[in-house]
Structure 1
Amino acid sequence: MTRQSDFEYVYEADRVGGVVFQIGARADPSTNNPESFAAILFFELADGSRIEVAKVDNAEHDEGEIHLDRFYRETGADIKDFQVPISNLWEAEDHLNEHARTYGQTYLKNHGKGLRDEG
């Protein structure tokens, strides 16, 4: 779950079945010169909590750095994809914008409007 203050900026990406999907971006030290970054596709629940649908970030992992967390996938599926053609924050945002409708529809189909079951 994320909060508005977690982002440098947030904007609407798409609407699916009455659900507003947004993209939020954060970068350190700044969006002008990001050393670390995350772009997140999410939607808000009525109580203000946010559900992450997909996230591209450059947090280090054993398998690599820049990757896509595919929270929209069915429970039990591998969510990390290290084979993404993304090299920076802006490409991450472009990717999420381009796929917002598909990722949003898939999340709603697999998990409804609640948190993804980690099962």
Structure 2
Amino acid sequence: CALIVAMEPSVLLYGIAACGFIFAWDFLYPYLMGVGISLDPSAKLVSYSLALQTIGKSIGPSLAALLVVGSDFSGAYWMCFGLFAGSLACLLPAIVHTDKKLRGASAAKKPAMAAS
């Protein structure tokens, strides 16, 4: 969505990007919460993620506003890209660990093949 706005900023493209983001968020966030509950049955992960999301919503726009110079939004775009890349870098080890854990559990459930 940010790439659409970055290509040629306009009210129409911003509206399309915002609607696309909200549409994706409405479907993705419940899925992520379900994954969080399966990873951490105590639900601390989900609680912390909601708190951090709220903090991000309040601090993010203020930080981005500091990086806007006149009508140049490139600093804000780079900040968003950097924060996204950092978040992804933090999330990837958990995804890999969970994938290995799930593959190990599914392999343990498969019956051994009988020798012919």
- Which structure has the larger Rg over C-alpha atoms? 2
Q: Which has the higher contact order (CA 8 A, sep 6+)?
A: 1
TM-score normalised according to structure 2 size: 0.28
Say which structure is richer in strand. 1
TM-score normalised according to structure 1 size: 0.27
